[in-house]
Every structure is written in structure tokens, then in C-alpha cells.
């Protein structure tokens, strides 16, 4: 009768195998998870350590043998396939040479003294004193398809050449504890191969991950292994076919990861449907190289929650081909592109004929760099190096905060080399759509490879048939430094009007200058303490709101089609560049200041029920109406009615109408200032019935009777006292019947006193 199967017998067999390996060239082995100890592989939970024989290999249950990695120095080379090394410590026959100097799979076939014999026939690439890296590699397979999955508790660090995750009969495998190092020998085929849903909370170091079955999700949450040579989140994330890639999901829900070498490429997910792909909800990824989305096929990535992506290299979305459609959605979390020493433009949406889309819905996206000569920090390029008609980049801003120094349409992927080296995308399209969120622009950047720098802004470097489009219909564009743009922009109303904030994130005043044409049905709002200067012949039809700071029209600037201008109490409308002839707006409302000569053709409605506005020179057109609001009361005070202060000439063209709007009660004898003026007054008003109101004329309006004075020497009760000024005032007078009753009452009183 056979003795029962036991762990002890396994150890004995393992020892025999080890003895055999010591005298024969070893080969990389495959270990299959086998907690049921059936010698072929099984499903279930257990411990992955180096003392429990719960792995099957070559028809036996055995201990897992971690891959060994050793680095030593070559003293000198001898022959064509031998190396004399400084030390053979850690080396063994069967170990695999991991260097680009040898063909993949080169192994140690003999060790005699310090002379190492290799299976490769050439050592020409090994220099005296160079470092040589050896590894003895094993593959681990988890999932047998026969039983219930479980939790595998990893003890210590387990090193494998590849990790294959297959399906269990039921359930999902979870790996927790310890750490797992997965080598990079398998190249683009993937050191981690995924055929089943799995979750790994163990710390990991890996290079290249490949999904080999559609519809599967791998979740990582354990972070990386500190100081790992291969990085802890490195290489490509792909699918074995395009269909499998589109239906695969990698989730990172926690941990801190770092990349090494060339960085990461994400080539999974369905960008059109916005499903699958790389879903990053928590944790931190620190990239030392580039971070590429869709460089080999279409791909999708989404950041949410508290995720953080810190990139010291380039970030690109959609790359190399019109068939590589990439989409990067930021709906929470933080992206910091902090490259300061690279000549590669930091963020590229659509590169080299790729098709890229960046959607920022919430969270923070910052593109930071020093912008000095030889460095392209702070720049986001939409459609870089496009040479075909279908090349494109699109940035959609609907929320969150985006910070960069320059937004560059149709530029190059570099800012280095000869002068002008970054200046071309000769074909394709670049698009910015903004309907929410905040975009801060401005700061020193390198303009081209000559080393020259500029102040950033929004620019187009395209040539040939390349095109750009900017659509703004909500959200805020601010200024971290003074910046300008000569590009045309379309203003819409999808989510209200665009706000131009002439200030940085701390509200320090900055200046913005726009030289292109602002068109469309929308309008704009000006905020921030700095100046927004419009130099284009703008055609937008919406309202212009100057809430704070200054909106200035350049000598050639205009907003003729705008429905009107409104002034906040700290807002200034500067038309002084228009010269003595001034500028005409349809409607002007609100409280604030106008610099230069202004004409109003339709309606002047000062104040905010009520308020005060100050002008250098004011003309009310023949078809205009002065809508004047007053509160009055028994004791009206300053601010009880609208007030216009004109520090110059006041002109009332024939037909200008005065329309009183009563906001509260007033008392007979109350006097209100319509205007204070220091220059020359020309013309008179007419009332709402089109009757001229000569000086001293009485008229009825706002439920009362009034007398108008165009040359009053004192201001009304609502204020307006101005040095060297005269005043246009109205005074409430009693109606005739009321005056008669008042007289009879006075007569009766006199009689009683007698």
C-alpha cells in the first residue's frame, strides 16, 4: 500500500530535482498554482511563499522557486562565448543573460572558476569593466478552471518572469500581502497575462501587461516596490488582439507606483463608448518616461476620485496613425505634467497623425515647466506633427481647473533644434471646446528651437491645410501671467457666456489681449482686476458684462453687434483708444466707469436698482432712452436714485427720452440728480410721450409730477456733488388738487391762530 501523499515527500522530490539541476543546464520552469496538491494545478486559496509546496511543475508538487537576478562586472572577455567576471557569487548554470548585447534566451552553460560560458556565440558587445545582468526566470500560472477561486496570500517578495492569470471554476482570485516582481523578458507579449478577472493588492513591479481574453478586469491597489529596477508600473498595457484590447479594463484603486525607462503606453479600452481601458480612481503614478494613450491602437483612459498622475515626461493621447484613436477623460483627481529638462512638448493631444481627445470634467490638470531655452515646459499642443487630413486633436473643457503656459494648435512635438523647428503641422485639425471649468494660461515658454522665449498664450503654428477651431460657451479663461492671442474664437451659449478673468489663481491682476474676431451668438463676461483688450472687429451678438477690472477696445477693436454692455461697480469700460470721436454701444447698464467718449444708441440704465456710473464724455442718441430708477421716501439720501457723473461734456441728441421708474415712494419736494456734468451740456430730453422737456418744464411720470432743471447749481438728495459741476435734476411737485387742499388747510390754520 502506498504511503499517503505528504509535503515531506514533496520536499524530498524537490531536493532531488535541485541536485539534478546542479549538474545539468537549467531551463526556465513553469509553476502552476496547486493548493489541492494534485500535481497538475488546482483552484483555491493559500499562501505563496518559499516554504509551502503548493505549486505544480513538471508533474510534481514543489516549492515555488523565485526568479534570481544577479549583476556583476566583466573583468574581460575571452573567446566568442565566454566572459571572465569579477565574482560568480549568485550565478548558476541555467541562468539567463538579460542584456541587449545578446540574443534573447542566452543562458549560462558552464561556470569554471571566474570564467562563465554562455550559449550565445558572441561576446563582442561586452566591454571590459561593464556590468552584466543575469536572471534565472520562472513563470507562474494561477487559475485552473476546475474549482472555486480564493485569496492567495503572498509572503515576502516573489519574483517571476511572467504571471499568467487564468479563470478558476468560479469566483475571482485576489492576491494580497507581500510583493511580486515580474521581469521584462517577455517584451510586448506581456510579463503579466490576463485571462480572468483578478484583484492584486500586493506591491508589484512589472513591465508590460497583456489581456488575452475579452471582457476581463485586473484591479491593482498595492502600489509598487520601492527602488525597483524595472519600475513598478511600466511598459505597455495592451490586448492580444484589437477586439480583446477594446473590451479590457485595468483598474488602479490605490497605491504609489513609479515608472522607469521609456514609460507607459495604454492601448486598451473603447474610446468611442467610453468603456474599459485604464480606469484610475485612487493612488499615485509617478512617470519617469512618457505616458502614451493609444500609440498602437485605439484606447481609453479615465481618471476619477483621488488619483494622481505625476509625469516628468511627455503625455500624449492618440499617436502615430489615424487609426489610433485615444481618449483621456479627467473627471476628478490630479494630473501634474512637470517636465523641466525635456525637449519634447509636455502634453500632446493627437500626435504624428493620431487622433486624440482630452475631456476635462473635474479635477486638476496642470502643465508646468521652466520654459527656458532647450525646454518645452508648460505647452499643450493640439494636433502635433499632423501631415494627413484625418490627423486631429480635440480638448473639451466642461469643468475642473486646467493650468498651462501656452495652448498651441497644430504645432510640433518638439521645441528644439533649429529656429522654427516646432512650427508645423501641415494638415489635420485642432479644436478647443469650452463650456465649463477654469483654464489658466500664461508664462514664459520657448517659442521654437532658437532658444527664443515668449509669454505664452493661445497660438496656431499650423501651415498648409491644417485648421483650428475655438468654441467658448461657458467657463472661465484666466491669466497666470500676461498673455495674448490673435486667433478667432466663436462664442456660444451652451452653458452661458465665457468669462475672461484678467487675474491669476490668487486673484492678482494680469492682462489679456485678444486680436482675433470673437463671433457667434454668445457674449462674454470680464472679471479679474487686470485689463482685457479687444483689438479685433468682433461680431458676437451676446451681452458684454464687465464685472471687475477693465475691458478696453483697441483702436481697431469693436463690439458693434453686442446686445449691450453692463458695468459692475468695480468694472471699467475703456474706449479711449477710439479718440475724440468715441465709441457707440447699443445699451449700457450697471454701475462703474467709462473712460473715453461714449455714445449710447438705445438704452442707458445706470446702476443696480439704483446705482452710479462715471463717464468722461457721454452722448445719448436720438433713439435712446435714459431709464432712471428712484426710491425716494420721506428723507431720500445718497444712493436713493440712479446717478450719472460726467467729467466732461453731456450731449442729449434730439429725441433722447427720459423714462422714470419708481422703485418706492417719494415725497413732494424731493430733488434727484439725473446727471452731474463738468463740461458743456447740449440738448434736452423728451418725455415718454415724445414731448420736449425744456428747462423748467413740468411733466408726469412714475406716478408723480416733476420739474426738470438742466442747469441746477446743487445736487439732489441722491448725491452727485462734483467740483465745478452743474446738475440735471428733477424735483417732485404736488399735483394742482393737492396743492389747493394744502392751501385751504393752511388758511384754516391761520384762522384758528387768530
Most confidently modeled range among 262-276, 515-529, 728-742: 515-529
pLDDT over threshold 50, residue 267: yes
CA distance 660 to 687: 9
CA distance 559 to 586: 10
Closest to 254 in 3D by CA, of 281, 286, 226, 288: 281
- The three cell numbers of residue 688 are 415718454
Task: Look at the alpha carbons of 384, 385, 389, 390 in this order and tell me if their dihedral is positive or negative.
Answer: negative
578 near 559, Cβ under 8 Å?
Answer: no
Predicted local confidence at residue 700, as pLDDT = 96
Q: What is the pLDDT of residues 388-401, one digit of tens each?
A: 999 999 999 999 99
Predicted local confidence at residue 658, as pLDDT = 98
- The three cell numbers of residue 551 are 475691458
* Poorest-pLDDT segment among 141-155, 187-201, 209-223, 494-508: 187-201
Beta bridge partners of 132: 72
**Mean pLDDT of all residues in 360-364:** 98
CA distances from 530 to 444, 480, 564, 616 (A): 19, 11, 21, 20
- The three cell numbers of residue 399 are 469643468
DSSP letter, residue 188: G
**Mean pLDDT of all residues in 256-260:** 87
Domain locations along the chain: 7-32+68-135, 140-230+237-259, 262-463
pLDDT over threshold 50, residue 673: yes
pLDDT over threshold 70, residue 575: yes
pLDDT over threshold 60, residue 748: no
**Mean pLDDT of all residues in 683-699:** 97
* Poorest-pLDDT segment among 46-50, 445-449, 523-527, 623-627: 445-449
Answer with the residue of higher pLDDT: 742 or 216: 216
Confidence band for 24, pLDDT divided at 50, 70 and 90 = very low
CA distance 589 to 128: 82
CA distance 222 to 254: 6
Predicted local confidence at residue 747, as pLDDT = 29
**Mean pLDDT of all residues in 153-165:** 91
Q: What is the dihedral of CA 151, 153, 158, 163, to 10 degrees?
A: 0
Residue where the block lists cell 520552469 = 29
Q: What is the pLDDT of residues 375-388, one digit of tens each?
A: 557 889 999 999 99
pLDDT over threshold 90, residue 485: yes
CA distance 625 to 689: 12
* Poorest-pLDDT segment among 316-330, 356-370, 412-426: 412-426
CA distance 554 to 535: 5
Predicted local confidence at residue 227, as pLDDT = 66
Arithmetic mean of pLDDT over the chain: 85
Predicted local confidence at residue 12, as pLDDT = 34
Confidence band for 484, pLDDT divided at 50, 70 and 90 = very high
Closest to 515 in 3D by CA, of 544, 476, 555: 555
Q: What is the pLDDT of residues 279-291, one digit of tens each?
A: 999 999 998 788 9
378 near 369, Cβ under 8 Å?
Answer: yes
CA distance 3 to 10: 13
Q: DSSP letters along 411-446, please?
A: --SB--SSTTTT----SSEEEEEEEEEEEEE---EE
* Poorest-pLDDT segment among 112-126, 544-558, 637-651, 666-680: 112-126
Answer with the residue of higher pLDDT: 135 or 638: 638
Percent of residues, the chain, with pLDDT higher than 90: 66
Closest to 194 in 3D by CA, of 251, 148, 150: 251
Closest to 122 in 3D by CA, of 91, 95, 100: 100
Amino acid at each position: 500500500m502506498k504511503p499517503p501523499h505528504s509535503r515531506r515527500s514533496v520536499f524530498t522530490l524537490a531536493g532531488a530535482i535541485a541536485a539534478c539541476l546542479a549538474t545539468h543546464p537549467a531551463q526556465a520552469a513553469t509553476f502552476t498554482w496547486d493548493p489541492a496538491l494534485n500535481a497538475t494545478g488546482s483552484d483555491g486559496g493559500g499562501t505563496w511563499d518559499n516554504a509551502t509546496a503548493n505549486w505544480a511543475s513538471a508533474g510534481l508538487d514543489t516549492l515555488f522557486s523565485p526568479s534570481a537576478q544577479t549583476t556583476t562586472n566583466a573583468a574581460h572577455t575571452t573567446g566568442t562565448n565566454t566572459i571572465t567576471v569579477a565574482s560568480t557569487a549568485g550565478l548558476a548554470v541555467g541562468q539567463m543573460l538579460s542584456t541587449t548585447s545578446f540574443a534573447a534566451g542566452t543562458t549560462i552553460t558552464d561556470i569554471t572558476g571566474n570564467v562563465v560560458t554562455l550559449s550565445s556565440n558572441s561576446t563582442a558587445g561586452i566591454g571590459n569593466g561593464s556590468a552584466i545582468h543575469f536572471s534565472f526566470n520562472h513563470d507562474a500560472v494561477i487559475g485552473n478552471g476546475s474549482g472555486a477561486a480564493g485569496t492567495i496570500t503572498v509572503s515576502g517578495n516573489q519574483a517571476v518572469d511572467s504571471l499568467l492569470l487564468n479563470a478558476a471554476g468560479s469566483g475571482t482570485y485576489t492576491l494580497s500581502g507581500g510583493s511580486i516582481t515580474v521581469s521584462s523578458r517577455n517584451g510586448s507579449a506581456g510579463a503579466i497575462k490576463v485571462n480572468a478577472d483578478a484583484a492584486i493588492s500586493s506591491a508589484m513591479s512589472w513591465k508590460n501587461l497583456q489581456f488575452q481574453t475579452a471582457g476581463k478586469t485586473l484591479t491593482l491597489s498595492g502600489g509598487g516596490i520601492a527602488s525597483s529596477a524595472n519600475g513598478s508600473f511600466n511598459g505597455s498595457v495592451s490586448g492580444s488582439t484589437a477586439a480583446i484590447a477594446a473590451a479590457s479594463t485595468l483598474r488602479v484603486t490605490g497605491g504609489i507606483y513609479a515608472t522607469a525607462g521609456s514609460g507607459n503606453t495604454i492601448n486598451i479600452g473603447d474610446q468611442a463608448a467610453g468603456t474599459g481601458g485604464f480606469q484610475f480612481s485612487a493612488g499615485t503614478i509617478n512617470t519617469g518616461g512618457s505616458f502614451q494613450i493609444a500609440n498602437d491602437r485605439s484606447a481609453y483612459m479615465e481618471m476619477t476620485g483621488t488619483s494622481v498622475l505625476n509625469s516628468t515626461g511627455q503625455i500624449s493621447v492618440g499617436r502615430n496613425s489615424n487609426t489610433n484613436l485615444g481618449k483621456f477623460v479627467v473627471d476628478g483627481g490630479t494630473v501634474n505634467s512637470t517636465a523641466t529638462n525635456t525637449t519634447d512638448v509636455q502634453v500632446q493631444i493627437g500626435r504624428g497623425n493620431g487622433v486624440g481627445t482630452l475631456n476635462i470634467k473635474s479635477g486638476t490638470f496642470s502643465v508646468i515647466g521652466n520654459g527656458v531655452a532647450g525646454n518645452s515646459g508648460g505647452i499643450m499642443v493640439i494636433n502635433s506633427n499632423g501631415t494627413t487630413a484625418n490627423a486631429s486633436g480635440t480638448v473639451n473643457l466642461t469643468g475642473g481647473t486646467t493650468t498651462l503656459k501656452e495652448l498651441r494648435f497644430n504645432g510640433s512635438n518638439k521645441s528644439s533644434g533649429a529656429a522654427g523647428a516646432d512650427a508645423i503641422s501641415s494638415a489635420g485639425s485642432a479644436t478647443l471646446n469650452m463650456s465649463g471649468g477654469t483654464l489658466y494660461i500664461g508664462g514664459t515658454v520657448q517659442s521654437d528651437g532658437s532658444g527664443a522665449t515668449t509669454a505664452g498664450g493661445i497660438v496656431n503654428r499650423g501651415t498648409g491645410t491644417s485648421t483650428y477651431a475655438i468654441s467658448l460657451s461657458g467657463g472661465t479663461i484666466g491669466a497666470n501671467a500676461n498673455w495674448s492671442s490673435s486667433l478667432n474664437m466663436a462664442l456660444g451659449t451652451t452653458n452661458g457666456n465665457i468669462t475672461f478673468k484678467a487675474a491669476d489663481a490668487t486673484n492678482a491682476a494680469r492682462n489679456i489681449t485678444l486680436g482675433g474676431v470673437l463671433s457667434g451668438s454668445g457674449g462674454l463676461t470680464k472679471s479679474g482686476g487686470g485689463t482685457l483688450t479687444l483689438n479685433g472687429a468682433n461680431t458676437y451678438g451676446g451681452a458684454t458684462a464687465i464685472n471687475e477690472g477693465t475691458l478696453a477696445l483697441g483702436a481697431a477693436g469693436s463690439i458693434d453687434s453686442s446686445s449691450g454692455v453692463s458695468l459692475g461697480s468695480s468694472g471699467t469700460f475703456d474706449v479711449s483708444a477710439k479718440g475724440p470721436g468715441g465709441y457707440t454701444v447699443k445699451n449700457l447698464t450697471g454701475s462703474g466707469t467709462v473712460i473715453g467718449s461714449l455714445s449710447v444708441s438705445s438704452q442707458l440704465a445706470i446702476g443696480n436698482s439704483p446705482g452710479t456710473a462715471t463717464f468722461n464724455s457721454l452722448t445719448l442718441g436720438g433713439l435712446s432712452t435714459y431709464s432712471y430708477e428712484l426710491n425716494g421716501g420721506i428723507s431720500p439720501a445718497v444712493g436713493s436714485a440712479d446717478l450719472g457723473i460726467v467729467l466732461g461734456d453731456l450731449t442729449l441728441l434730439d429725441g433722447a427720452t427720459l423714462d422714470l421708474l419708481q422703485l418706492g415712494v417719494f415725497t413732494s419736494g424731493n430733488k434727484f440728480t439725473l446727471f452731474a456734468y463738468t463740461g458743456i451740456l447740449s440738448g434736452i430730453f423728451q418725455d415718454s410721450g415724445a414731448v420736449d422737456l425744456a428747462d423748467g418744464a413740468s411733466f408726469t411720470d412714475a406716478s408723480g409730477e416733476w420739474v426738470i432743471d438742466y442747469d441746477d447749481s446743487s445736487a439732489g438728495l441722491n448725491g452727485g456733488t462734483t467740483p465745478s459741476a452743474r446738475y440735471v435734476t428733477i424735483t417732485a411737485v404736488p399735483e394742482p388738487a393737492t396743492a389747493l387742499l394744502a392751501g385751504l388747510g393752511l388758511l384754516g390754520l391761520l384762522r384758528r391762530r387768530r
